[in-house]
Amino acid sequence: MKNNFKEDFLWGASSSAFQIEGAWDEDGKGMTVADFNSFKKSDVQADTKVASDFYHHFKEDISLMKELGMKTYRFSISWARIIPDGDGKVNQKGIDFYNKVIDLLLENDILPFITLYHFDLPFTLVEKYNGWESRDCVDAFERYAKVCFEAYGDRVKNWQTINEQNLMIRVNERMNIYNVPSENIEKVRAQMDYHMFVAHARATNACREMIPGGKIGPAVSSTMTYPSSNRPEDVWAAQMNDNFKTNYALEMYCFGEYPGYYKEYLTKCDLYPITKPEDEEVLKAAKPDFIAVNYYRTLVASYLPTNDSHSFGTKLKDIDFDLYGYFQIEKNPNLKATEYGAQIDPMGLRLVLNNYYEKYRYPLIITENGLGTADNLTDDGLIHDDYRINYLKDHIAACNDAIADGVELFGYCPWSVMDLLSSHQGFKKRYGFIYVDRVDHDVKELRRIKKDSFYWYKDVIKNNGLN
C-alpha cells in the first residue's frame, strides 16, 4: 500500500485537563462542572482529584512523549485553573503551570495544540449564571480565551475553541442542566448551544487579532450514519441524523448561521434561541482555519414517523437520541463492537473525512480516535494490547485512503496519550499508549508503564505512517 502521509504530517496524541491533571484544587484552581459531576460518583469510581496526576508528573510524561516521537500534543487548559471562578481574578499559578508545560514540550520538539474548553466549565459560572444559558458566560469565555492568547500566543500557534460542543450539548450532566422542568429542557439546551457558538466565534476572531500566524478551529464529535435500508425515507433519516448531531454545528462554524433544516426544526418546536443583531457579523467573520475531527464509531438510522403519542420533534434519549418526524437509531449487524458498545468501523472514518472535506473544504486533523477497554498487567509487568494496535492500524489505513481520495488531512492525534479518567467508567476503561498503574480507589504509585501499543506507535511515527 502506498504511503500518502506528507513528511510534515503531525503525528501526536491527545488528552484533556480534567481527565489527566488531578490537583483539582491545588494552587488556586477552582471547581469545575467535571469535578462536581465526578465527585457525585466517587463512591463507585475514580474522580478528578488525582486522575492520572499529570500536574505532578508532567516532566516524566513529556519525556515519554518525546520517546514516543510525538510531533504534537493536543491537550486542554483548565479554565478554572486560569480563572478559578470563571470571570474574576486571573490565577498566576495556573498561568505558570501551563507555561512550564508548553516550554517543556517545545524543548522536546513537540508542538502544543491547545483546546480552550473540554467539558470543564468553572462551576461558579453555573452558580452565578446557570452557565451557558446566560450571555455573561459568553463574555467570560471571550475574556478567558484572550488571557490564554496573551499568555501563550507567542509560542502556541494551534488552538481549538470548544471540544465536541455538538456532543456536549446533548448530555445534561456536562451542561449542568439540573432542576429545569422537563418541558423547558430543550429550550434551555438550544439557548446554551447558541451562546457557545457565539463564544466560539468571539474567541476565533480574537485569536486572529492577537496571535500572528495563529490557527484556530472547532473540534466536533463526528457522526457517520448509514440508512437501515434503501427505502428513501431511511436514507433521508440517516442524513438527518448526521445533520442534527454534527452537520448543523459545522454549518454554523463554517458559514456563521444555522442551516435551513435546523431553523425549521427550532421554529416549529418553539425552541429558537434569543439572538442579538450584532451576532451575525461576529459569527460570519469567524471562519475556521481547520476542522478537528473526533471519531470513534458509526450509527444506523431509520425513519421515525410521528404518532398519537409522539408529536413532531419529540426527542427520546440523549447522546444517540431518536427524533420523531426524523429518525431513530438502529443496531448495525455488520459490525463488531467494543465491550462498551461502540461499533468498530474504520471505513466510517474514511467516509467522514471525505464528507467533511468535500462539503467544507477546510484542512482536517483527527484529534480523537481510539479503543477504550480494560488492559491487564502480565506477571512480568507488561501490557499486551494487540487489540488496540489492530484498531489503530485499521484507522490509520483509513486515513491513508482518505488522503488518496483527495482529503487534506494534516494530523492524527489518537485518544489518548496515556490512561486517564473516563467520565463514565473511571479507570476501568483505558485508551492510552502508556499504562497508569492505579485503579479507581487506589492510586498506588501512579507508575507509568509503556504498553505494546507504545512501541508500535513509535514505529508508525518513525516511519511516517503505515506500519
- Interval 178-216: pLDDT, tens: 777 878 899 999 999 999 999 999 999 999 999 999 999
* Position 341 pLDDT exceeds 80: no
CA angle, 307 then 313 then 317, to 5°: 95
pTM, whole model, 2 decimals? Answer: 0.96
Question: Which three cell numbers mark 145?
Answer: 480565551
DSSP code at position 22: -
- Cell 500518502 sits at which residue? 4
Is 257 one of the annotated active-site residues of the chain? Answer: no
Q: Does residue 466 have a pLDDT over 80?
A: no
Catalytic residue among 133, 142, 164, 251: 164
Is 339 a residue whose pLDDT tops 80?
no
Query: Exposure of 374 by Cβ count < 10 A (0-12 exposed, 13-18 middle, 19+ buried)?
Result: exposed
How far from chain centre, in Å, is Cα 463? Answer: 27
Residues 142 and 435: their CA atoms lie apart, in Å, by 36
The pLDDT score that the predictor gives to residue 467 is: 66
Exposure pattern of 327-340 as b/e (b: 16+ CB <10 Å)?
bbbbebeebeebee
- Active-site residue flag, 280: no
Q: How far is it, in rounded angstroms, from Cα 120 to Cα 390?
A: 32
**For 86, left (φ over 0), alpha (ψ -120 to 50), or beta?**
left
Provide mean pLDDT across the span 142-152: 98
Is a pLDDT exceeding 80 seen at residue 259? Answer: yes
Specify the CATH superfamily of domain 10-231+286-298+334-462: Glycosidases (3.20.20.80)
pLDDT at 262: 98
Q: How many residues does the chain have?
A: 467
Round to whole Å and give the CA distance between 238 and 224: 8
Q: Where are the domains of the chain?
A: 10-231+286-298+334-462
Per the prediction, the chain carries an average pLDDT of: 96
Rounded average pLDDT over 150-169: 97
Residue range 34-45, pLDDT digits in tens: 999 999 999 899
Give the mean pLDDT of 101-110: 98
- Give me the pLDDT at residue 157, please: 98
Tell me the CB-side half-sphere exposure of residue 287, using CA atoms within 13 A: 6
Mean predicted confidence (pLDDT) in 237-251: 98
